[in-house]
């Protein structure tokens, strides 16, 4: 080439750049050789200056590893471009965002191509990130200091503790109030402003909560029980205040001297976190219980006076053995019932230490008096009295002209009486009673004689002066209810009824009722009828107002030659629809004349009677 450059066949570049600003001609000679000789060919090429310019802008020429370099192409519009980043990466877009992963100085070149090409290079300096390590205790109890060390050569660093607090010291302490997992963030910044971060988690372990279950007062010589209800604790330590201690969470201890002792419980978690609680224990002296009593009244309601004789006691409780109690120092108590009662006095020292003693008190029952009065059937027989009282008692009944011992008194006259009862123990009771005249049973019939026709009924009305009576009528024939005070009677023949009345005392009264039954068999059939349609006497029928007639079993009409003209069966009397209207079986009116009838009548007492006669038909 006329530029002085030469290439062999194996290294011939695809593009040979020329950067002259004026047109020029280039002579290119190709020389080839082989074993047979040499040959050459020369051509002239006219080179025009390029028509493009490379131009770009960068966000920064100094940055840190991991920062983003932003490049913007401002080359000749429309010209194809190509970026080389100096770290092996290339781009062809107008906007480039690139991150360098290593430190150093990198030459960024933009190539713009057209008729020829142009390029622009810019050095980019990439600074390394500072090295950073965070050391700390991975688990710490809440409320205790956690130690942190930020290890870095960077001049500046910040540690965020994850609870809203932070520090710029590389070695620091920090305490957390609440248990939980907290996210730590450490940031180191180099002299070039490059920042490196590291994250970690620290566990803040909940402290146990010491909860003591122990009495605040105990008696000397008694065994005190101490229980830990602590939460989050794996072990415990008790300090009893008298130089003794115990490592069990539930402990017992006996104090051999009185006084006030500080009790301390330390609750310890599995990670060694602790919580402490303290309580005072008062060890008291034990009182000695004793009492005396005086029986004021031995019979119920029995009165007893009790006197406290206890020592070293600040309070007492009495249990009287009958379900009642008292906290009065010297109480008086009344026993409603009789018996032997175990009375217990419990003497206490501020309701903590106690001593007790039991003695027996015996009371006797005041006799009870219950009575039962039972009337006899008549005033002359009087009233029987039964007295019920305490077994073994002496019972006396006193009245006007009457004094007698015993619990049963028969045939007492009406009047006022007094009952006196005394038990073998000397307990007495009295009761006044009034004995009334017996109420005799009175039975009478409002009417005791009746006269009725067969088929009629009457009410038997019994007048009584008592209730809850047993009533029986005899015979029970034709009665609506043989046990009623007012039964209905409908006899078919003359009957005498006897009524027997018995009250609750077994007293009996009898009365009678006489019912005379008059038996009538009469019926009425007219001797003439006129079936002329006038509405008067048009129908020949069986008529009767006799209550004994219950049915017409058969009703027949015959002419004088014995021919049957009409027949009806089983019907009540007086009904027009069952009468003869003066027609033949074919419905034709018969001739005036005399006709024969037969009527079979059934009565209430079961009797049947055949009636026959003549009737004159007139038209």
Residues linked to residue 315 through DSSP beta bridges, in sequence order: 348
Distance CA 339, CA 298 (A): 10
pLDDT at 50: 64
Looking at residues 345-373, what average pLDDT do you find? 92
pLDDT tens, residue by residue, 423-466: 999 999 999 999 999 999 999 999 999 999 999 999 999 999 99
Looking at residues 263-269, what average pLDDT do you find? 92
pLDDT at 352: 78
| CB-based contact 322:335 (threshold 8 Å) | yes
pLDDT at 221: 85
Distance CA 382, CA 411 (A): 4
Residue with tokens 């039991």: 358
| CB-based contact 444:421 (threshold 8 Å) | no
Q: Which residues of 385-413 are buried (b: 16+ CB within 10 A; e: fewer)?
A: bebebbeebebebebeeeeeeeeebeebe
Looking at residues 398-419, what average pLDDT do you find? 94
Q: Kindly state the percentage of the chain with pLDDT values over 70.
A: 95
Per the omega criterion (within 30 degrees of 0), is the bond before 301 cis?
yes
Burial of 170 (0-12, 13-18, 19+ CB in 10 A): middle
Distance CA 341, CA 321 (A): 5
Longest dimension (CA), the chain: 191
Give the confidence band of 350 by pLDDT, cuts at 50, 70, 90. confident
Encode 362-391 in three state secondary structure. EEECCCCEEEEEEECCCCCCCEEEEEEECC
More confident position, 532 or 2:
532
| CB-based contact 136:202 (threshold 8 Å) | yes
Distance CA 460, CA 447 (A): 7
Q: Which residues of 420-454 are buried (b: 16+ CB within 10 A; e: fewer)?
A: bbbbebebebebebebeebebbebeeeeeebebeb
| CB-based contact 195:132 (threshold 8 Å) | no
| CB-based contact 240:253 (threshold 8 Å) | yes
More confident position, 264 or 15:
264
pLDDT tens, residue by residue, 178-221: 989 999 999 999 999 999 999 999 999 888 989 999 888 888 88
| CB-based contact 508:440 (threshold 8 Å) | no
DSSP state of 547: T
Within a 13 Å sphere around the CA of 537, how many CA atoms are in the beta-carbon half? 11
Looking at residues 237-252, what average pLDDT do you find? 92
pLDDT at 12: 58
Distance CA 142, CA 144 (A): 6
The structure tokens listed for 519 are: 């038996």
Task: Report CA Rg, the chain.
Answer: 70
More confident position, 408 or 222:
408
pLDDT at 21: 55
Task: Using the predicted structure, report yes or no on whether residue 407 has a pLDDT greater than 80.
Answer: yes
Task: Using the predicted structure, report yes or no on whether residue 47 has a pLDDT greater than 80.
Answer: no
pLDDT tens, residue by residue, 1-39: 555 555 555 555 555 555 555 556 777 777 778 888 888
Query: Considering only CA atoms, which of 306, 380, 374, 297 is closest in space to residue 344?
Result: 306
Looking at residues 244-265, what average pLDDT do you find? 92
pLDDT at 560: 92
DSSP conformation letters of 468-525: S-EEEEES-TTBS-TT-SS-EE--SS-EEEEEEEE-TT--EEEEEEEEEEE-----B-
Cα–Cα distances in angstroms (integers) from residue 467 to residues 137, 140, 464, 503, in the given order: 103, 97, 8, 8
Give the confidence band of 619 by pLDDT, cuts at 50, 70, 90. confident
More confident position, 355 or 319:
319
pLDDT at 584: 93
pLDDT at 49: 57
Encode 550-613 in three state secondary structure. EEEEEEEEECCCCCEEEEEEEECCCCHHHCECCECCCCCECCCEEEEEEEEEEECCCCEEEEEE
pLDDT at 365: 92
10 contact partners, CB below 8 Å, separation of at least 6: none
| CB-based contact 229:289 (threshold 8 Å) | no
For the question of whether the overall pTM of this predicted structure is more than 0.75, the answer is: no
pLDDT at 399: 94
Distance CA 523, CA 599 (A): 10
Distance CA 512, CA 71 (A): 143
Task: Using the predicted structure, report yes or no on whether residue 99 has a pLDDT greater than 90.
Answer: yes
Task: For 535, list phi and psi in degrees, rounded to 5.
Answer: 85, 0
């Amino acid at each position: 080439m006329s530029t002085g450059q030469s290439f062999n066949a194996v290294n011939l570049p695809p593009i040979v750049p020329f950067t002259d600003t004026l047109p020029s001609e280039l002579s290119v000679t190709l020389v080839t050789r082989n074993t047979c000789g040499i040959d050459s060919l020369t051509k002239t090429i006219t080179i025009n200056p390029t028509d493009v310019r490379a131009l770009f802008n960068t966000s920064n020429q100094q940055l840190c590893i991991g920062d983003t370099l932003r490049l913007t192409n401002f080359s000749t519009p429309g010209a194809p471009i190509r970026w080389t980043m100096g770290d092996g990466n290339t781009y062809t877009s107008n906007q480039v965002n690139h991150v360098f992963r290593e430190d150093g100085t990198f030459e960024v070149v933009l190539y713009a191509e057209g008729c020829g090409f142009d390029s622009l290079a810019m050095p980019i300096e990439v600074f390394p990130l500072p090295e950073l390590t965070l050391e700390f205790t991975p688990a710490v109890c809440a409320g205790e200091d956690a130690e942190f060390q930020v290890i870095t050569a960077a001049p500046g660093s910040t540690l965020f503790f994850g609870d809203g607090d932070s520090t710029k010291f590389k070695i620091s302490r920090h305490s957390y109030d609440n248990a939980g997992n907290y996210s730590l963030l450490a940031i180191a910044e180099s002299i070039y402003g490059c920042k490196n971060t590291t994250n970690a988690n620290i566990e803040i372990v909940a402290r146990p909560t010491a909860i003591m279950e122990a009495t605040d007062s105990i008696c000397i010589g008694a065994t005190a029980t101490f229980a830990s209800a602590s939460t989050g604790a794996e072990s415990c330590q008790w300090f009893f205040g008298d130089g003794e201690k115990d490592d069990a969470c539930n402990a017992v201890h006996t104090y051999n001297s009185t006084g006030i002792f500080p009790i301390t419980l330390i609750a310890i978690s599995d990670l060694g976190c602790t919580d402490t609680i303290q309580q005072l224990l008062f060890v008291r002296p034990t009182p000695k219980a004793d009492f005396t009593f005086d029986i004021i009244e031995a019979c119920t309601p029995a009165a007893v006076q009790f006197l406290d004789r206890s020592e070293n006691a600040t309070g007492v409780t009495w249990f009287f053995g009958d379900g009642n109690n008292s906290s009065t120092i010297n109480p008086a108590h009344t026993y409603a019932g009789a018996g032997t009662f175990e009375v217990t006095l419990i003497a206490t020292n501020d309701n903590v230490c106690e001593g007790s003693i039991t003695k027996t008190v015996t009371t006797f029952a005041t006799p009870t008096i219950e009575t039962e009065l039972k009337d006899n059937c008549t005033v002359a027989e009087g009233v029987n009295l039964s007295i019920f009282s305490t077994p073994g008692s002496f019972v006396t009944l006193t009245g006007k002209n009457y004094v007698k011992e015993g619990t049963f008194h028969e045939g007492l006259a009406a009047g006022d009486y007094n009952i006196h009862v005394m038990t073998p123990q000397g307990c007495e009771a009295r009761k006044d009673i009034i004995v009334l005249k017996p109420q005799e049973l009175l039975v009478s019939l409002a009417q005791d004689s009746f006269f009725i026709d067969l088929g009629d009924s009457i009410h038997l009305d019994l007048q009584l002066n008592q209730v809850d009576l047993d009533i029986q009528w005899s015979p029970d024939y034709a009665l609506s209810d043989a046990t009623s005070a007012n039964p209905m009677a409908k006899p078919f023949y003359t009957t005498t009824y006897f009524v027997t009345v018995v009250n609750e005392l077994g007293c009996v009264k009898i009365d009678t009722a006489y019912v005379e039954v008059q038996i009538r068999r009469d019926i009425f059939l007219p001797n003439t009828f006129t079936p002329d349609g006038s509405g008067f006497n048009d129908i020949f029928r069986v008529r009767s107002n006799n209550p004994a007639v219950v049915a017409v079993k058969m009703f027949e009409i015959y002419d004088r030659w014995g021919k049957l003209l009409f027949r009806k069966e089983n019907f009540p009397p007086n009904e027009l629809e069952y009468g003869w209207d003066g027609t033949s079986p074919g419905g034709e009116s018969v001739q005036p004349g005399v006709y024969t009838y037969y009527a079979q009548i059934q009565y209430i007492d079961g009797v049947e009677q055949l009636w026959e006669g003549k009737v004159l038909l007139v038209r």
